[in-house]
């Protein structure tokens, strides 16, 4: 499979016990992002990164970027499954000058009620992940496939599970507990929160400049708003699953529970149809009728009322959640936008901020910090680097 020579190379490059070559794997339902990092106590250095896209489709793509973010390889070819993507990644380290990994970390969206802390993967962890699939059926099956194939291909390497829910594990009961019977709560039905690795990466980038009251708006195809007090999550918009909270690309976000009851009773929808509706046909896609990509909606907004409404509703939804988190924190010292939309869409950021002037936030705060009483920053979400750091720490602690 991977070959002992590649693994030996990774160990040789690390040199000292405090430095480790780490491979981060971030799986989606039809994609696999990866990054190779040299991690030490003081630095996380990117050696290469890339993505396998459109896995399982007729026309896929395998792209590799060098340490400077320049395209080193782009191959438009079919990638039948996650196993094939892992093999393609493994071949990068065979007979090349690229150091091979000495440890591998995986992004896991939801570990269920029993897995709330980042951990090394063994058979017990695999069993618990499998039992928690129902909490994130969009994400966990693909992640489990990647873990299995990575353990097979990179046999003998320590592999870590890094959870998006860990950052929110200490939320106070007033935010964590759902207003349902205690028996159901005891079975693990409560607010977990997600995008935790992204939030952790924001705190890492802020370093000693983390304020007392911070709001992180992770806005992408999936989106959530998190209130952070003194570096700790105290509330977040997503709940039991990544389907709740603000409007997203294809996910509805929060809905009146009566809507689901109505659809069950009057339309005879079953669980599978409801899940498809909530996760794949709602949100920006459902509102606009043309899709969930914000770039496409901007292009169509001038002539398509549905596209314009979708953008406006997204901004309105995010603005309301930011206001709610300001209330939870008793004020705000800094707002950070991150994620694909949060980082790249200035029009959306300005629209969100335009309704928050009462909180001292100026629509042009990113471009003109002095014009806003409350500072607003744009920082890149660095989930993969965060996975690498956690994997480094867990591997050295073995």
Share of the chain above pLDDT 70, in %: 95
**CA–CA separation, 20 and 340 (whole Å):** 29
Q: How confident is the model at residue 57 (pLDDT cuts 50, 70, 90)?
A: confident
Q: How confident is the model at residue 70 (pLDDT cuts 50, 70, 90)?
A: very high
Share of the chain above pLDDT 90, in %: 85
pLDDT tens track for 138-161 = 889 999 999 999 999 999 999 999
CA 35 to chain centre: 15
Residues 376, 381, 387, 388: is their CA dihedral positive or negative? negative
pLDDT at residue 101 tops 70: yes
Reported in sequence order, the residue ranges of the chain that DSSP labels E, i.e. its strands, are 20-27, 32-40, 43-53, 61-65, 71-75, 103-108, 119-120, 159-163, 213-219, 223-229, 232-236, 334-338, 376-378
pLDDT value of position 282: 98
Token representation of residue 106: 């995986």
pLDDT value of position 30: 80
pLDDT tens track for 181-193 = 999 999 999 999 9
Pairing of strands 159-163, 71-75: unpaired
Residues 84, 85, 87, 88: is their CA dihedral positive or negative? positive
Q: Which CATH architecture does the domain made up of 209-378 adopt?
A: 2-Layer Sandwich (3.30)
Neighbours of 208 (CB within 10 A): 4
Residues 144, 149, 150, 152: is their CA dihedral positive or negative? positive
Reported in sequence order, the residue ranges of 102-237 that DSSP labels E, i.e. its strands, are 103-108, 119-120, 159-163, 213-219, 223-229, 232-236
pLDDT value of position 383: 97
Q: How confident is the model at residue 95 (pLDDT cuts 50, 70, 90)?
A: low
pLDDT at residue 4 tops 60: no
**pTM of model > 0.75:** yes
**CA–CA separation, 78 and 71 (whole Å):** 19
In this prediction, residues 112-128 reach a mean pLDDT of 97
Same CATH fold assignment for domains 4-163 and 209-378: yes
pLDDT at residue 221 tops 60: yes
pLDDT tens track for 158-180 = 999 999 999 999 999 999 999 99
Q: How confident is the model at residue 323 (pLDDT cuts 50, 70, 90)?
A: very high
pLDDT value of position 17: 61
Helix (H) or strand (E) holding 359: none
Helix count and strand count (H, E) for the chain: 15, 13
Q: How confident is the model at residue 297 (pLDDT cuts 50, 70, 90)?
A: very high
Catalytic: 299? Answer: no
Fold of 4-163: Nucleotidyltransferase; domain 5 (3.30.420)
pLDDT value of position 382: 96
pLDDT value of position 182: 97
pLDDT at residue 337 tops 80: yes
In this prediction, residues 49-75 reach a mean pLDDT of 92
pLDDT at residue 125 tops 50: yes
pLDDT at residue 8 tops 60: no
pLDDT value of position 58: 83
Q: Which burial class, exposed, middle or buried, applies to 41 when counting CB atoms under 10 A from its CB (0-12, 13-18, 19+)?
A: exposed
Opening angle at CA 377, ends 372 and 383, nearest 5:
160
Mean model confidence pLDDT for the chain: 93
Nearest residue to 109 (alpha-carbon basis) of 263, 211, 222: 222
pLDDT tens track for 23-48 = 999 998 788 999 999 999 999 999 99
In this prediction, residues 369-374 reach a mean pLDDT of 84
Catalytic-labelled residue, pool 164, 235, 279, 345: 164
Domain boundaries, the chain: 4-163, 209-378
Judge whether 107 and 34 are in contact, CB under 8 Å: no
């Amino acid at each position: 499979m991977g070959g002992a020579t590649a693994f030996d190379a990774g160990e040789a490059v690390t040199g000292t016990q405090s430095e480790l070559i780490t491979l981060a794997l971030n799986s989606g339902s039809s994609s696999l992002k990866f990054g190779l990092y040299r991690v030490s106590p003081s630095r996380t250095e990117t050696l290469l990164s890339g993505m396998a896209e459109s896995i399982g489709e007729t026309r896929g793509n395998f792209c590799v970027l060098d340490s400077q973010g320049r395209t080193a390889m782009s191959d438009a070819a079919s990638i039948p499954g996650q196993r094939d993507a892992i093999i393609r990644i493994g071949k990068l380290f065979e007979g090349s000058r690229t150091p091979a990994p000495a440890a591998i970390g995986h992004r896991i969206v939801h570990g269920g009620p029993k897995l709330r802390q980042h951990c090394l993967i063994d058979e017990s962890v695999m069993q618990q992940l499998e039992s928690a699939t129902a909490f994130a059926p969009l994400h966990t099956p693909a992640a489990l496939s990647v873990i299995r194939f990575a353990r097979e291909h990179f046999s003998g390497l320590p592999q870590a599970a890094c959870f998006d829910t860990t950052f929110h594990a200490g939320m106070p009961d007033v935010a964590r507990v759902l207003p349902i019977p205690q028996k159901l709560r005891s079975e693990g039905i409560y607010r977990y929160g997600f995008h935790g690795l992204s939030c952790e990466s924001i705190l890492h980038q802020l370093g000693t400049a983390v304020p007392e009251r911070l709001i992180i708006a992770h806005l992408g195809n999936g989106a959530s708003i998190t209130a952070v007090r003194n570096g700790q999550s105290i509330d977040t918009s997503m709940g039991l699953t990544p389907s709740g909270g603000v409007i997203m690309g294809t996910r509805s976000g929060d809905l009146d529970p009566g809507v689901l009851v109505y659809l069950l009773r009057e339309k005879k929808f079953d669980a599978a149809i409801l899940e498809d509706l909530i996760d794949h046909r709602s949100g920006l896609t459902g509102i606009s009728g043309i899709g969930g990509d914000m770039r496409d909606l901007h292009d169509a907004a001038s002539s398509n009322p549905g596209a314009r409404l979708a953008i406006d509703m997204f901004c309105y939804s995010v603005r309301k959640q930011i206001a709610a988190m300001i209330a939870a924190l008793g004020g705000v010292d800094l707002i950070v936008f991150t994620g694909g939309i949060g980082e790249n869409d200035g029009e959306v950021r300005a629209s969100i901020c335009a309704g928050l002037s009462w909180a001292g936030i100026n629509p042009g705060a990113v471009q003109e910090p002095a014009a806003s009483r409350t500072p607003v920053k744009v920082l890149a979400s660095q989930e993969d680097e965060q996975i690498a750091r956690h994997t480094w720490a867990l591997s050295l602690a073995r």
